[in-house]
Chain A
Amino acid sequence: MGTEFTLYLYSGDASAAASASEEVFEEIDRVEQLLSNYRDSSELSRINQNAGTAPVTTDPEMLNFLAQSERWSRASDGAFDITVGRLMKAYGFFKHEGRVPSDAELGELRAVTGWQKVELDPAARTVHFAVPGVELDPGGIGKGFAVDAAVRILRADHISAAMLSAGSSTVYALGAPPHQAGWRIVVPGPLPSKDTLSVITLRDTSLSSADCSQKNFTLGGHFYCHIMDPRTMRPVEGRVQVSIVDPSATASDALSNVIFVETPEHSVATLKAYAPEARALIVSGDAEHARCTAFRWGEPVDSAHCVLH
């Protein structure tokens, strides 16, 4: 997933802490081997290589991953969609290069993009692509899935206070540091200039963020963000950054893409309908003229630099 994972944990015993953290990173490695589309031998790559030809038998965990992905596609009417593998490659984001596909190319890509083309049969434990050439890219939900798996390990090891960060774009706050109500998370912005947009304290929940600062390119004076609207097949414009809290890191990771793609109005409606425990902070416009939408956020926001709507 090309992401650096960082773990902070409290323990009364140094060697128990070392063992637990080793198990966490082993579990993350295992999920990487399950989901990575950069590794030919991963289970996801095996599905990409074969599911266009015939149904591929897979394991319950992978099916669960695909079912969760489908759920968020359905809930967001396709604003979230993991079938964007070919689309991401066409824009050069897969290899950090950057190009703009032609309309003709996008037309061809439309034929192999779309969450409805992934057919899951949980009873038979199979996944099949209705059309050959579909390619799954787990980038919008894989980190959250890995974080949830790692947190299961921490709980099984009876670790009661820890923070796990997946490249800082998905963090899970387990318990709280001693004498604190929770783990302190600083949401910077509006990016790229300001240090602090809001500070939130979290306990036993996750926060995922999305913005364009890490993966983007500029071509012909135009800035292209790596976060796609799968329905238009083009990078999102007019959104600066989003942050979302949800007890499931898989959900918050996927939802961070949903609320980056959808308008703030649609995002609020989607969260009300499908994520009863979510809290979100959405920044639209641009860094100099930022507009903030806070949904159940519950913490002060720097409204001097981000006008609250």
Chain B
Amino acid sequence: MNRRDFLQSASAAAIASSTIARAATPAVKPVRLGVIGAGSRGQEDLRQFLHVPGVSVEAICDIYPPRYEQVNHLAGKEVPHTTDYNELLARNDIDAVLIASPVGCHAEHVIAAARSGRPIYGEKALGFTVEDNHNILEAVTKNKVLFQIGHEYRYAAWAQEAVRRVHAGDIGTPTHIYAYWHRNGNWRRSVPSPDPDGKLEHLLNWRLYRETSGGLSTELGSHHIDMANWVFGEQPESIIGTNSICIYHDGRTVGDNVQAVFSYSGGRRLVFSSITDNAKVGCEFWIYGTAGCVEITIEDATIYYEKKKSSDAPSADKAVSKTVVERGVTTGASYSTAGEMPYRGPGEKIVTASSEDPTLAAVRSFTEAVRGEHAIFADVHCGFRAAIACSVAHDAVFAEIKMPIPAAKL
């Protein structure tokens, strides 16, 4: 018996014998997806989409044939495929489009999908170049299509609660954000050989080459830039940065490490660091405010309160001050380093009702929006404000001079 037969017979056995609870799930409007770009991220998005009731995948577009079988396995059925996204968009059985092609293709694919009138879940970054970003924003707006950007951490319960508390003033005024995405690995995907002319290398490892990739500051930094925009309520005005290749001298033309400072109004800063030869810090997003700080990671958030040093408000009438005056102060001997190191201690973990995978939360929210249940939260403007900073950063980290970040034209 080969494995496929076994699996099919296992499923058949399950149907035949177990009590099936039908009609317990209320009927939902089906949402049939078309996927443009079914690589690793596209497949992860699709996997989560399949956790939302009533969602199915009806067709994919990809120019790399091994994706077809991978998607069939993921979807549990044969999914029609094409190498031509126009052919996919011309189908009459697609309600919404997931676009997860390499960032250099986003403009072409998103604009075509917008012109077809379908709601779009577009992976980050919105577009590759400054011009791409302006064009995508214009097309989505003019065609009045629903668009959600793949900044899934906006949907993470712990991030939402953390940002809510920051906006409520729990850490005072937030002024600086230090965002890290540190890993230990060469970022390469396996490339089958032979690969004459390096075509497969450039197709599968598009992230490593400057013509097709904004490097670490786009691929990883776009999440952090978006979260900083969320906290500060605006996009950055300029960026100054640097990059280099320290370890991976393997022909790549983007850096294997990046450091960038993004300037916001009022002197506020986002400092972004990404290195690929040490994983100690991992993915950490620190919001520093005048009264404390919040650390957000890809799985949780923790808040730290800084002790107030002094109060300017007169307090002679307050009960505690009166007690001191009437009873005096008791002497003692103590020495504390808490003045210089006020943060010792574990901090307060932000507890939320849900620890749901943020990608699942994001695609579920998109599906609900497609069904007309609510508006889109991480919309095209949100995508623009992060991606425009990334597209300037592409060049800024090579030029190593301060470069302005343009605002949207609309």
A-to-B contact residues, CB < 8 Å: 13, 15-16, 18-20, 22-23, 30, 33, 40-43, 45-46, 54-55, 57-61, 63-64, 67-68, 70-71, 74, 116, 118-126, 128, 130, 156-158, 247-248, 276
Contact = CB atoms under 8 A, between A and B. Distances in A.
Contacts of B22: 121, 124
8 contacts: A16-B191, A46-B356, A55-B25, A57-B25, A61-B76, A125-B50, A128-B21, A248-B6
A41 B51 contact: no
A233 to B, nearest CB: 22
Contacts of A118: 18
B330 interface: no
B360 to A, nearest CB: 8
B376 interface: no
B14 A58 contact: no
Contact of A130 (B10, B19, B186, B192): B19
Given A23-B189, A61-B74, A157-B190, A276 B66 contact: no
A19 B21 contact: no
Contacts of A30: 44
Contacts of A60: 50, 73-77
Q: Which 3 A-B pairs have the closest CB atoms?
A: A60-B76, A40-B355, A19-B190
Given A57-B52, A121-B21, 15 more contacts: A22-B186, A22-B190, A41-B355, A54-B24, A58-B50, A60-B74, A60-B76, A61-B73, A63-B11, A67-B7, A67-B10, A68-B10, A74-B13, A74-B17, A248-B3
A305 B56 CA distance: 57
B357 interface: yes
B310 interface: no
B168 interface: no
Contact of A23 (B13, B54, B190): B190
A161 to B, nearest CB: 16
Nearest to B157: A41
A70 B10 contact: yes
Contacts of A55: 21, 24-25
Contacts of B47: 59, 61
Contacts of B188: 15, 18-19, 22
B20 interface: yes
A121 B186 contact: no
A74 B17 CA distance: 10
Interface of B: 1, 3, 6-7, 10-11, 13-15, 17-22, 24-25, 44, 47, 50-54, 66, 73-77, 185-186, 188-193, 250, 299, 355-357, 360
Contacts of A121: 15, 20-22
Given A19-B188, A22-B188, A60-B75, A122 B25 contact: no
A276 B192 contact: no
B25 A54 contact: yes
B66 A156 contact: yes
A60 B355 CA distance: 22
Contacts of A130: 19, 21
A267 B180 CA distance: 53
Contact of B15 (A57, A61, A122): A122
Contact of A41 (B10, B66, B356): B356
B190 A16 contact: yes
A182 B21 CA distance: 47
A58 B47 CA distance: 9
Contacts of B185: 22
A70 B17 CA distance: 10
Contacts of B50: 57-60, 125
A247 B66 CA distance: 24
A58 B51 contact: yes
A27 B20 CA distance: 32
Nearest to A23: B190
Nearest to B72: A60
Nearest to A19: B190
Contacts of B357: 33, 41-43, 46
B14 A70 contact: yes
A13 B194 CA distance: 12
Given A119-B19, A124-B22, A19 B191 contact: yes
Contact of B74 (A22, A46, A59): A59
A43 B51 contact: yes
Nearest to B9: A71
Contacts of B191: 16, 19
A128 B21 CA distance: 8
Contacts of A119: 18-21
A171 to B, nearest CB: 18
A41 B11 contact: no
Nearest to A70: B14
Contact of A19 (B3, B24, B189): B189
Contacts of B190: 16, 19-20, 22-23, 157
A16 B205 CA distance: 13
A282 B74 CA distance: 36
Nearest to B13: A71
